[in-house]
Amino acid sequence: MEAVNFTESQLTQKATQIRIDTIKSLVSAGSGHSAGSLGMIDVMTALYFGDVLTYDVSKPLWSERDRVVLSNGHICPGYYAVLAHAGYFSPTELGELRKLGSKLQGHPHRESLSGLETSSGPLGSGLSQSCGMAYTALLNKSSWNVFCLTSDGEHQEGNTWEAVLFAAKYQLGNLIQIVDRNNIQIDGFTEDVMPLDSLNEKYQSFGWHVQDIDGHNFEAIIDAVNEAKSNYQKPSIIIAHTIPGKGVEFMEELPEWHGKSPSLGETVEALYELRTLAGAIESDHD
């Protein structure tokens, strides 16, 4: 496979284009989850275009690929756009999101789309599945890693913590969890709904290797993944502090954008803002 190694500014451009395609896909669907999708696009872009993930789009079932498990399946509009840009399917198909017969199901369906390792949507079960995959790699003496993308909200599910114990017991050093620490869930801010802080201390005391990073800083994301990969003794978690709705100002930091798609008017506004960011439109502001 060709090495995909973008510069920082290329990553920024790529992420902006992916955000634009995500917004278009959401408006065409008429429903779906905007905030988490936009918030994790920088992390997912860094994974697929920052030369840290081993994958080959022409061989989605290649045995030596790194496994990416999207545990918080509701942010699939963002993930689908990343997979399309990575080459798993054409970005023109993103308009089929949530439509009858589409491979872009409202929540990911493993059998519908190549590039997906599992079906998800029901929260809290991705980390355990990732443990099963990581354990397999150790048994088989394979060198691939498992990247499990999770959300903060699903850390309220018992199943997540059952997996946290398991990964530490079996020293799954090939397991890298990246959690979207965006502080929101459906009913409001996580610390009001069911407090999670400090995730860092909790994971340390459970025997994991823990890093806190700015989830919108490409260098920080890539460095953290490389450090996690070089650690063989413990499972790793990267706590990515993100801004839900990142890139579209009227969505940022607001729990009400958790599960909503933009209206036509809001889409125009969002695309204007993102295109300005991409340099395609002169900014009004400065």
Partner 1 sequence: MIKDNITYPSEEKISTREGFGEGLVEAGKKNSNVVALCADVTESTRVHWFKEAFPDRFIEVGVSEQNLATVASGLAASGKIPFMSAYAVFSPGRNWEQIRTTICYNNVPVKIAGHHAGLLTGPDGATHQALEDIALMRVLPNMTVLIPADYCEAKQATIAAAMHPGPVYIRFQRTNTPVFTMPGLLFEIGKSHVVREGSDVTIVSCGPLVYSAIDAAEALAQQEISVEVINASSIKPFDVDTLITSVQKTGAVVTLEDHQIAGGLGSLVCETVSEHYPVPVKRIGVKDEFGQSGTPDQLYEKYGLSVDAIILAVQSIVR
Ligand X SMILES: Cc1ncc(C[n+]2csc(CCOP(=O)(O)OP(=O)(O)O)c2C)c(N)n1
Number of residues counted as binding Mg ion (CB under 5 A): 5
Residue closest to 25 by CA, chosen among 98, 90, 101, 127:
98
Q: Cβ(273)–Cβ(248) under 8 Å?
A: yes
Tokens read off for 230: 């070089």
Q: How far is the CB of 250 from ligand X (least distance, A)?
A: 16
Q: Which residue has the tokens 């400090």?
A: 198
Residue from the set 16, 45, 71, 105 that interacts with partner 1 by CB under 8 A: 105
Tell me the CA distances in angstroms from 194 to 71, 128, 184, one per residue in order. 19, 22, 11
Q: How far is the CB of 135 from Mg ion (least distance, A)?
A: 27
Task: Work out whether 273 is an interface residue with ligand X (CB under 6 A).
Answer: no
* DSSP 3-state percent helix, strand, coil across the chain (nearest 5): 45, 10, 40
Residue closest to 176 by CA, chosen among 75, 79, 69:
69
- Give the separation between CA 76 and CA 133, rounded to whole angstroms: 21
Q: How far is the CB of 30 from ligand X (least distance, A)?
A: 18
- Range in contact with ligand X (rule: CB under 6 A) among 13-21, 62-70, 167-175, 178-186: 178-186
Residue from the set 57, 87, 107, 200 that interacts with partner 1 by CB under 8 A: 107
Tokens read off for 69: 């498990």
- Alpha-carbon Rg of the chain, whole angstroms? 18
- Give the separation between CA 172 and CA 169, rounded to whole angstroms: 8
- Helix H segments across the chain? 8-29, 35-49, 76-86, 126-139, 158-169, 190-193, 199-205, 218-230, 264-277
Q: How far is the CB of 249 from ligand X (least distance, A)?
A: 17
Residue from the set 153, 173, 245, 262 that interacts with ligand X by CB under 6 A: 153
Task: Work out whether 260 is an interface residue with partner 1 (CB under 8 A).
Answer: no
Pick the closer one to partner 1 by CB: 113 or 224.
Answer: 113
- Range in contact with partner 1 (rule: CB under 8 A) among 10-18, 128-136, 149-157, 231-239: 149-157
Pick the closer one to partner 1 by CB: 247 or 255.
Answer: 255
> Which of the choices Mg ion, partner 1, ligand X, none does residue 102 contact, using the CB cut-off of 5 to 8 A by kind?
partner 1
Tokens read off for 241: 């502090």
Task: Work out whether 154 is an interface residue with Mg ion (CB under 5 A).
Answer: no
Residue from the set 24, 67, 109, 216 that interacts with partner 1 by CB under 8 A: 109
Task: Work out whether 98 is an interface residue with partner 1 (CB under 8 A).
Answer: yes
Residues in contact with partner 1 by CB under 8 A are: 29-32, 73, 98-102, 105-107, 109, 119-124, 153-154, 156-158, 185-187, 193-194
Residues in contact with Mg ion by CB under 5 A are: 151-153, 182, 184
